A and B are shown apart, each in its own frame.
Chain A
Amino acid sequence: MEALWLSARLAVLVAAILLVLAIPLAYWLSQTKWRGKFLIESVIALPLVLPPTVLGFYLLVAMGANGWLGQLWLAWFGHTLAFTFTGLVAASILYSLPFAVQPLVMAFESVDRRLLDAAAVLGAGRWRAFRQILLPLSFPGIVTAVVLSFAHTLGEFGVVLMVGGNIPGVTRTVSIDIYDHVQSLEYAAANRMAIALLLISFAVLSTIYAVNRRVWSPWPTQ
């Protein structure tokens, strides 16, 4: 149960931080005409194609006692970032970034440009147009981004194993716990965890589809 609680805490925290980071990033990507945009898009999408172990490996190196991030952390906090909950959060943010950014970019881009033009002609600055027009009209995309980053963090394994290790209460998440149980042939315990993860994942995905198909919706469809 400790593992489930840890995973939930990690996933909520990562989803919340990602929301704050990804909204401005996605807004910029959806509005910019900069030619080098594709480079940023590629970097953000990297976790989609890289094996988690590759990402985890580099993060471990960076966060360890000899890595620049690890040394920085050591100087400030007296310990390295690897094998800590904070390290896990940082790694998970990078790993789940595309799952937050991509639905947001799609949502922002699908808002009719003429609505933003209308807002500008009516005297609204960028911030007001963003807050009152773009953001509310992108609501389903925001829900998708939050839910996907939550679910993806909940289910991650490779990066956690590399960066976090397997410290009970600190870095032992559900997926690692299941792996541990299986390794020690405790199938009943593994099954309990696995079923919990399965049900949560199902609930999460049905939320996304419900929102995006507008089974229910805060606004009438146009």
Chain B
Amino acid sequence: MTISTSTRQLEAQLRYTRTGLGHDAFELAVDFRLDSGITILFGPSGAGKSTLLDCIAGLLKPAVARIILNGEALNDSAANLVVPPRRRHLAYLFQEPALFPHLTVEQNVSFGLFDVKRHDRASRVQDLLAAFRVERLADRKPAEISGGEAQRVALARALATAPRAVLLDEPLKGLDAELKAAIVDDLRAWNRVRQLPILYVTHQRDEVDALGERVIAIDRGRIIAEGAPHVVLDAPRKKRLAYAAGFENHLSAVVQDIREPDGVMRVRLSGSETELEVPLSYATTGNRVHIAIRAGDILLATRRPEGLSARNILEGTLASLETNGTTVVCRINAGAMFLVHVTPGAARSLELTAGQRVWLVIKTHSCHLVDD
């Protein structure tokens, strides 16, 4: 066994089983390594993200585990070693702030500093309150501050204890994008000198884009992909991950013809005559494949377009359109039902109305092949 002490690093191999009937039964089995900086743990709800964090923090007991932080074992089944949560020196932020309701903001933040000298404690609490911009709330009770403020206080409280790694479980759920970005910036600034491994759980695609240097995608208790965000999420290999990553169109198709020199293949959508050209993948003629396409990657035309490089031009009927914030969601029947996102301005200038004839333009490489 090699022990690396030089870098700040969290290594975990663990298996956790929850016995139960049917859907209650669940097994988490993962093996990964976190280096300094933010790693995103991404996956649909129920994938096992919170369970994984609870196991690392020691709040749940994995059946088999080897969790090594900076070369020191927190959990090692082989050596029958389990360090209790209070001695793991981790910062763990739950989905809810879980502030102690009977203590003030200041008392909450200093809760973990009981072994620190009184004078140092006060200055450390002040520094953290300032770092997360909540110093003016020091004397308030949790019931008297907003949700976003509570998240900031919870973050300050978790980081006050000089942790060796940081676990964040969808910490910014329910906050608007601007507020989220501001809090994440503060977190990055805090971590600049410390260089701790931070595991950041989310099921929201926009957060991955905003934060990620590295993504671990997890589903049904298994790691299904890891790497840079655009590698993991822009070309999802799994159907459920594609759903979570915001691929609105999922089509089932049968491979018709493979053109290896061009790096493409033609597929026919199930239940229709419509054909698409998609990137080549491990499939042979007659195989059934699944294709994921982002609604925002499809162009919409009211006349048959000509002279385009895009290989897929499908004729269809606009079934309905619905404004959803700053996007107009169009449903188009072109053999299969396609979802297409356009801007309200585009919808106006094209004078889109339900029932009209439209053409869809889809680049070959906007079609992603995914496994079940």
Q: Interface-forming stretch among A120-128, A160-168, A172-180?
A: A120-128
Of the candidates B58, B98, B101, B112, which one forms a contact with A137 in the assembled complex, judged by CB atoms under 8 Å apart? B101
Q: Is the CB of B101 within 8 A of A122?
A: no
| Nearest CB in chain B to that of A114: its residue | B98
Interface assignment of A65: CB less than 8 Å from any CB of chain B:
no
Q: Is A133 an interface residue (CB 8 A)?
A: yes
Alpha-carbon separation in the docked complex, A220 to B94 (Å): 23
Residues of the A chain whose Cβ atoms lie less than 8 Å from the Cβ of B92: 118, 121
Using A123-B86, A222-B101 as known contacts, say yes or no to A117 and B114 having CB atoms under 8 A apart: no
**Which residues of chain B come closer than 8 Å to A137, judged between CB atoms?**
100-102
CB–CB B85/A219 < 8 A: no
A221 at the interface (CB under 8 A from B): yes
Q: How many chain A residues touch B (Cβ–Cβ < 8 Å)?
A: 21
User: Within residues 142 to 159 of chain B, which ones have a CB less than 8 A from any CB in chain A?
Assistant: 142-144, 157-158
Across the interface, which residues of B come within 8 angstroms of A121, CB to CB? 57, 59, 85-86, 88, 90-92, 158
Given contacts A112-B98, A115-B98, A219-B101, contact A123 B143 (CB under 8 A): no
Given contacts A120-B59, A124-B86, contact A115 B114 (CB under 8 A): no
Interface residue A169 (Cβ < 8 Å from any Cβ of B):
no
How many residue pairs at the A-B interface have CB separations less than 8 Å?
67
A136 within 8 A of B: yes
- The distance in angstroms between the C-alpha atoms of A137 and B99, with both chains bound, is 12
**Residue among B85, B89, B91, B143 having the largest count of chain A Cβ atoms under 10 Å:** B85
**Docked pose: A65 CA to B161 CA in angstroms:** 61
User: CB distance A222 to B143 under 8 Å?
Assistant: yes
Interface string of B156-187 (1 = CB under 8 A from A): 01100100000000000000000000000000
Q: Across the interface, which residues of A come within 8 angstroms of B84, CB to CB?
A: 120
Kindly provide the distance from the CB of A145 to the nearest chain B CB, expressed in whole angstroms: 18
A6 at the interface (CB under 8 A from B): no
Contacts of B87 in A (CB 8 A): 123
On whether the beta carbons of A115 and B142 are closer than 8 Å, the reply is no
Q: Is the CB of A119 closer than 8 A to any CB of chain B?
A: yes
- The 25 listed contacts between A and B (C-beta, < 8 Å) are A117-B57, A117-B94, A119-B100, A119-B111, A120-B58, A120-B86, A121-B85, A121-B88, A121-B92, A122-B111, A122-B112, A122-B161, A123-B86, A123-B87, A123-B89, A124-B86, A128-B114, A132-B100, A137-B100, A137-B102, A219-B101, A219-B141, A220-B141, A221-B143, A222-B142
Question: Is B127's beta carbon under 8 Å from chain A?
Answer: no
Minimum distance in angstroms from B327 CB to a CB of chain A: 36
Where the two chains meet, the residues of A that have a C-beta atom closer than 8 Å to any C-beta of B are 112, 114-115, 117-125, 128, 132-133, 136-137, 219-222
* Complex contact A118–B102 (CB within 8 A): no
A213 to B85, CA, bound (A): 35
A137–B101 alpha-carbon span in the complex (Å): 8
B96 within 8 A of A: yes
Give A220 to B89 CA distance when docked, in angstroms: 31
- Which chain A residue shows the least CB distance to B107? A132
When A and B form their complex, which 10 residue pairs have the shortest distance between CB atoms, in order from nearest? A122-B112, A120-B85, A222-B143, A114-B98, A118-B98, A121-B92, A222-B101, A220-B143, A123-B86, A219-B102
Q: Which residues of A contact B98 (CB under 8 A)?
A: 112, 114-115, 117-118
Please give me the residue from chain B that is nearest to A221 by CB atom: B143
List chain B residues, Cβ under 8 A from A117.
Answer: 57, 59, 85, 94, 98
Nearest A residue to B160, CB-CB: A122
15 more A-B residue pairs beyond the given contacts A117-B59, A121-B90, with a C-beta to C-beta distance below 8 A: A114-B96, A114-B98, A117-B85, A118-B98, A118-B100, A120-B58, A120-B59, A120-B85, A121-B92, A122-B86, A122-B111, A123-B86, A123-B89, A124-B86, A222-B143
Question: Which residues of chain A are within 8 angstroms of B158 by Cβ–Cβ distance?
Answer: 121-122
